[in-house]
Amino acid sequence: MLPTSENPSGLLTAIRIQHSISSDNGSKAPINESSLNLFNQAWLNRLDDNPTVIRLLNNVPPIDEHTLCLLVLELFQKQPSLFAVPVVNHLNHPVGIVERNSFVETFIRPYAKELNAKKTIADFMNKTPVIVDKETSIDDIARIIVDAGMQHMVSGFIATDEGQYLGIANGHNLLTEITQRKQANLFKLAHFDQLTKLPNRVLFLDRLNMAIIQSERQQSQVGLLFIDLDKFKHFNDSMGHSFGDELLIAVSERLIECARESETVARLSGDEFTILLDNVKSQADLDVLCNRILDSMKQPLRVMGREVFITVSIGSAMCPSDDDKSAGLLVKADAAMYEAKRSGRNAYRHYVTGMNLYSYERMTLETDLRMALERNEFELYYQPQVLLSSGKVVGNEALIRWRHPLRGLLPPIHFIELIEESGLIVPIGKWVIEEACRQQVIWMRSGLEPMCMSVNISAMQFYQSDFCEMVKSIVIESGIQPEHLELELTESVCMHDVGSVLIPLQELHDFGVKLAIDDFGTGFSNLSYLNKFPIDRLKIDQSFIRHIESEPVNIEIVRAIVALGRSMSLELVAEGVETDNEMDLAESCGCEFVQGYRFSKPLPADQLELWLSDFSKKNS
Ligand code: C2E
Ligand code: MG
Ligand code: MG
């Protein structure tokens, strides 16, 4: 290349940028603030992949730097869509670019053709083209366009592969690409859940509507699964929201594994997921998927380095048999899910006519719940716990009931999650402790043999800063012996960061109150946390005890829990013992205490007194 006045050294002064502007070695063009602002959003909205210029390259054959202008003019005239021509030297390295419009314009002037036609293109080309490596990201190129006052929109970008000319990209195309990606990203924001990346409610409803329309045409059926995590709230409250978020991601991945590619898995809100199946032949198709999901949840999920077990409750409904509108279908699948929860969770149910439509019920329940405490609508029922070696009742668990003015007596499955979600668990939970202590003192004063009173504590209650003080003052005011009060906590409470849990637990323990882990075995598979805390008893979850005789693996699990408990000198309670067989097996596995329908269902205080005297007569 010959030295010119613009390029005295004869060296190419093109901007060469590497793979990424931010990682280059200082040769990048300065970027002013307004250009940054303009494209900031584009960078922020960067999609996972970061497209490079290579995919926008036009295969424009380059011309040699000695080519005559006349030939270049002819080239442009023959190819109206050619926006620029790259110029290369004898090594095939790009040395300039000829931009169509400005080049052609120079020849419009009188005599220009005659004067210039025989000159070489080197005199007319732009000698400072933007040359980029083929891997340069489109975002980076956008910065150059803006920085150069859009100049490179016109002339374009030359891309090289190790210095060799590779192709030329139009600046317009590059910006269009960015705009489209921004739009795609906006679409993503509006239609996909940011956390799990699953379709959100909007997109899901859209797909559901489409599927319904299609099914009408094809006379086929659409299936809808409504999936809700069991006790998600416990995890969220006790382990913190980041843990809850990671758990939701892990669940969403599990659901995707269970579903076929043609089935849409979506996250509706919170811990609610849906799956849309089109072309369903019968309910059996839905059964298959429901079973697959329930089975898959038996495997632990890995969340923040821990193994976690969580179950789901699933409701399903079909279009058109259950409803032919998307909103109706959702409400019905939701109602069926609620039935699955009522049946004890970790189950699925299909919608059948007459099921309570949960959303409506839930709404009114929430309103009613706010008044229930003032109106004294809560009651405690008590379920005895028996020490197998002596055959005596050694304790009772207080279980809340709500005597709803219209719906009658409701067990906690109908309202406990609502209470927790609404924060009402704090005052209602306090009432439970007060009432249970009051009852315990009455029983002790009436001369009944010493028993312990167990009270369930929600994670949210436990994390109240004044929880310990509250318990202590109730104990003192009621006159209950601290060792006659046992607090049942869930496993997830103990998994919270050790420091914040240990202090209140230790304080309560030092005060004399007993501590138990409820529903043990359903939360985390990593049990090493146990010996960090001053716990007295483990209550083995009823799902391991129920049908223990027909599920040999349960025996193994119970034995393992017993061995673990014993190694830490913990007492072991088998929950949900319904039959003699279950009782015998629980005993043979090493459980010392049992609780369950085998002895008694939870009863109101006065009925329990009758039952107790009956029971002690039979056993004396
Ligand atoms: P939980 O603490 O594990 O209580 C045992 C549940 O199993 C009780 O259900 C009891 O009625 C039931 N059950 C006991 N033996 C058997 C049996 O042999 N077979 C069967 N099928 N079920 C049996 P309930 O009363 O409906 O309570 C359910 C859950 O609600 C409790 O589980 C506890 O987690 C929660 N809960 C109850 N009362 C309170 C409360 O006052 N505060 C809080 N935070 N939670 C409560
Ligand atoms: Mg309990
Ligand atoms: Mg339990």
Within a domain: 614: no
CA of 348 to the centre of ligand 1 (A): 20
Quick one: which atom of ligand 1 is closest to the CA of 602?
A: 11
Express each pLDDT in 455-494 by its tens digit: 999 988 998 889 999 999 999 999 999 999 999 998 877 7
Kindly state whether residues 146 and 253 are assigned to the same domain. no
Q: What is the pLDDT of residue 44?
A: 35
Express each pLDDT in 604-620 by its tens digit: 999 999 999 999 988 87
Instruction: For ligand 1, atom 2, name the residue with the nearest CA.
Output: 456
CA of 541 to the centre of ligand 2 (A): 9
Q: What is the pLDDT of residue 206?
A: 85
Quick one: which atom of ligand 1 is closest to the CA of 597?
A: 18
Domain boundary among 133, 149, 182: 182
Inform me whether the pLDDT recorded for 558 exceeds 90.
Answer: no
Q: Please, are residues 533 and 570 in contact by the beta-carbon 8 Å criterion?
A: no
Ranges of H-type helices in 449-551: 459-462, 467-478, 491-495, 498-511, 542-545
Q: What is the pLDDT of residue 25?
A: 33
Q: What is the pLDDT of residue 110?
A: 63
Q: What is the pLDDT of residue 185?
A: 65
> What is the separation of C-alpha 355 from the centre of its chain, rounded to a whole number of angstroms?
29
CA of 492 to the centre of ligand 3 (A): 13
267: nearest Cα among 191, 187, 186, 184: 191
Kindly state whether residues 440 and 525 are assigned to the same domain. yes
Kindly state whether residues 226 and 374 are assigned to the same domain. no
Domain boundary among 334, 355, 376: 355
Q: What is the pLDDT of residue 553?
A: 73
Q: What is the pLDDT of residue 531?
A: 77
Please, which contacts does 567-573 make with residues 24 or more away whose CB atoms are closer than 8 Å?
Answer: 568/530, 568/531, 568/535, 570/530, 570/535, 570/536, 570/537, 570/538, 571/536, 571/537, 571/538, 572/537, 572/538, 572/540, 573/385, 573/516, 573/537, 573/538, 573/539, 573/540
CA of 20 to the centre of ligand 1 (A): 59
CA of 14 to the centre of ligand 1 (A): 75
Domain enclosing residue 109, as ranges? 33-182
Kindly state whether residues 435 and 532 are assigned to the same domain. yes
Quick one: which atom of ligand 1 is closest to the CA of 539?
A: 3
Phi/psi of residue 110, nearest 5 degrees: -60, 140
Instruction: For ligand 1, atom 17, name the residue with the nearest CA.
Output: 576
Quick one: which atom of ligand 1 is closest to the CA of 400?
A: 38
CA of 399 to the centre of ligand 1 (A): 6
Ranges of H-type helices in 32-170: 33-44, 69-78, 100-106, 112-116, 138-147, 151-155
Instruction: For ligand 1, atom 22, name the residue with the nearest CA.
Output: 576
Q: What is the pLDDT of residue 182?
A: 61
What's the mean pLDDT in 242-263? 95
Kindly state whether residues 529 and 385 are assigned to the same domain. yes
Express each pLDDT in 371-385 by its tens digit: 899 899 999 999 999
570: nearest Cα among 522, 532, 523, 599: 532
Q: What angle do CA 266, 269, 275 make, to 5 degrees?
A: 25
Kindly state whether residues 170 and 208 are assigned to the same domain. no
CA of 410 to the centre of ligand 3 (A): 18
Inform me whether the pLDDT recorded for 30 exceeds 60.
Answer: no
Q: What is the pLDDT of residue 429?
A: 97
| Residue in the block written with tokens 């139009």 | 170
**Sign of the C-alpha dihedral computed for residues 92, 94, 95 and 101 taken in this order:** positive
Q: Please, are residues 24 and 32 in contact by the beta-carbon 8 Å criterion?
A: no
What's the mean pLDDT in 124-149? 82
| Residue in the block written with tokens 């699964």 | 225
Q: Please, are residues 319 and 221 in contact by the beta-carbon 8 Å criterion?
A: yes
Within a domain: 27: no
Give the ligand with the smallest distance to the CA of 488.
2
Within a domain: 15: no
3-state helix, strand, coil in the chain (%, to 5): 45, 20, 30
Whole-number average pLDDT of the chain: 84
Q: What is the pLDDT of residue 111?
A: 65
Give the ligand with the smallest distance to the CA of 487.
2
Lowest mean pLDDT among 157-166, 354-363, 546-555: 354-363
Kindly state whether residues 257 and 121 are assigned to the same domain. no
Within a domain: 615: no
**Higher-confidence position of 568 and 402:** 402
For the chain, percent of residues with pLDDT exceeding 90? 48
CA of 534 to the centre of ligand 3 (A): 19
CA of 522 to the centre of ligand 3 (A): 10
Inform me whether the pLDDT recorded for 24 exceeds 50.
Answer: no
CA of 252 to the centre of ligand 1 (A): 29
pTM of the model: 0.57
Q: What is the pLDDT of residue 396?
A: 98
Q: What is the pLDDT of residue 14?
A: 30
**Higher-confidence position of 360 and 119:** 119
Q: What is the pLDDT of residue 10?
A: 27
Give the residues surrounding ligand 1 with Cβ less than 6 Å away.
Answer: 383, 399-400, 411-413, 416, 429, 432, 456-458, 488, 518-519, 542, 575-578, 595-597, 602
Inform me whether the pLDDT recorded for 250 exceeds 70.
Answer: yes
Domain boundary among 339, 355, 371: 355
Ligand 1 probe mutation, 238, 455, 456, 593, most atoms within 8 A of CB: 456
Give the ligand with the smallest distance to the CA of 416.
1
- CATH code, domain carrying 139: 3.10.580.10
Kindly state whether residues 340 and 433 are assigned to the same domain. no
Ligand 1 probe mutation, 416, 432, 474, 548, most atoms within 8 A of CB: 416
CA–CA gap between residue 9 and residue 245 (Å, rounded):
60
Q: Which residues pair with 222 in a beta bridge?
A: 319
Within a domain: 21: no
Quick one: which atom of ligand 1 is closest to the CA of 598?
A: 18
139: nearest Cα among 66, 224, 50: 50
CA of 311 to the centre of ligand 2 (A): 18
Q: What is the pLDDT of residue 497?
A: 67
Work out the end-to-end distance of the chain between its first and last CA atoms, rounded to an integer number of angstroms. 114
Express each pLDDT in 326-370 by its tens digit: 888 998 999 899 889 877 889 999 998 877 665 555 667 777 888
What's the mean pLDDT in 28-34? 34
Neighbours of ion ligand 3 (CB under 5 A): 518-519, 575
Quick one: which atom of ligand 1 is closest to the CA of 458?
A: 44
Kindly state whether residues 345 and 367 are assigned to the same domain. no
Ligand 1 probe mutation, 237, 399, 424, 585, most atoms within 8 A of CB: 399
Which pLDDT band holds residue 55 (cuts at 50, 70, 90)?
confident
For the chain, percent of residues with pLDDT exceeding 70? 85
Kindly state whether residues 178 and 196 are assigned to the same domain. no
Indicate the SS3 state at residue 130.
strand
145: nearest Cα among 178, 167, 101, 102: 178
Kindly state whether residues 334 and 375 are assigned to the same domain. no
Inform me whether the pLDDT recorded for 157 exceeds 80.
Answer: yes
Which pLDDT band holds residue 56 (cuts at 50, 70, 90)?
confident
Extract the tokens encoding 612: 């107790």
Q: Please, are residues 136 and 110 in contact by the beta-carbon 8 Å criterion?
A: no
- CATH code, domain carrying 584: 3.20.20.450
Instruction: For ligand 1, atom 25, name the residue with the nearest CA.
Output: 399
DSSP code, position 530: G
Q: What is the pLDDT of residue 184?
A: 67
Within a domain: 611: no
Kindly state whether residues 69 and 148 are assigned to the same domain. yes
Give the ligand with the smallest distance to the CA of 519.
3
CA–CA gap between residue 276 and residue 199 (Å, rounded):
11
Neighbours of ion ligand 2 (CB under 5 A): 456, 488, 518
Total domains, the chain:
3
Within a domain: 53: yes
CA–CA gap between residue 381 and residue 39 (Å, rounded):
64
**Higher-confidence position of 238 and 419:** 419
CA–CA gap between residue 473 and residue 484 (Å, rounded):
15
Give the ligand with the smallest distance to the CA of 520.
3
CA–CA gap between residue 238 and residue 494 (Å, rounded):
8
- CATH code, domain carrying 345: 3.30.70.270
Within a domain: 104: yes
Inform me whether the pLDDT recorded for 510 exceeds 60.
Answer: yes
CA–CA gap between residue 538 and residue 558 (Å, rounded):
11
Which pLDDT band holds residue 180 (cuts at 50, 70, 90)?
low
Q: What is the pLDDT of residue 307?
A: 86
Instruction: For ligand 1, atom 23, name the residue with the nearest CA.
Output: 576
10, 226, 230, 381, 496 from 235: Cα distances, Å: 69, 20, 10, 27, 9
CA of 456 to the centre of ligand 3 (A): 9
Q: Please, are residues 590 and 559 in contact by the beta-carbon 8 Å criterion?
A: yes
**Higher-confidence position of 8 and 243:** 243
